[in-house]
Amino acid sequence: MTELQELYQDVILDHNRSPRNFGELPNCTHRAEGFNPLCGDHLTLQLLLDGDIISQANFTGNGCAISKASASILTDEIKGKTVDQANEMFNQFHRLVMQEPGEISEETLGKTMIFEGVKDYPARVKCATLAWHALNGALNGQTLSTTE
């Protein structure tokens, strides 16, 4: 199988074709941009927090299939999570694709586990983690994240 066949699984292709939570989020409380100059992916993540709970998450922008599908699945999975839970998801996703030691739980990561395969393709790791860096930035008051 080629790199693309291996990575562009059906779920990823589906989220790329019909991204979930795509578009401006009116009244968002947190937002951050993510830029991956290596691939040209440029996404903005918008969050609506209700106290400590992420009640809605949207994204806008343009990018390759991996970066868009990752943002689409991320925004689906973090909805209803607390800020602490979202930070923990960020840490675990980072470990998953960077092959770093530490806890990785399927229960915590949910559907975002599908990106495990990108760990073998360093250039693609940046595409898959872009939305996550934007999430981390949005939650920590950093409005621009780049993968460089």
Q: Min. distance of Cβ 124 from Zn ion in angstroms?
A: 7
Q: Min. distance of Cβ 25 from Zn ion in angstroms?
A: 22
Q: Does 67 help bind Zn ion (rule: CB under 5 A)? A: yes
Q: Does 38 help bind Zn ion (rule: CB under 5 A)? A: no
Quick one: which segment of 33-41, 75-83, 93-101, 108-116 binds Zn ion (CB under 5 A)? 33-41
**CA–CA distance, 24 with 104 (Å, rounded to integer):** 32
- The residue to which tokens 């994240």 are assigned: 145
Q: Does 64 help bind Zn ion (rule: CB under 5 A)? A: yes
**CA–CA distance, 115 with 8 (Å, rounded to integer):** 10
User: Of 28, 23, 10, 41, which Cα lies nearest the Cα of 128?
Assistant: 41
Q: Does 41 help bind Zn ion (rule: CB under 5 A)? A: yes
Rounded to 10°, the helix 83-98/122-139 angle is 160
Please report, as a single letter, which amino acid is at residue 89.
M
Site for Zn ion in 80-139 (CB under 5 A): 127
Interface positions with Zn ion (CB under 5 A): 39, 41, 64, 67, 127
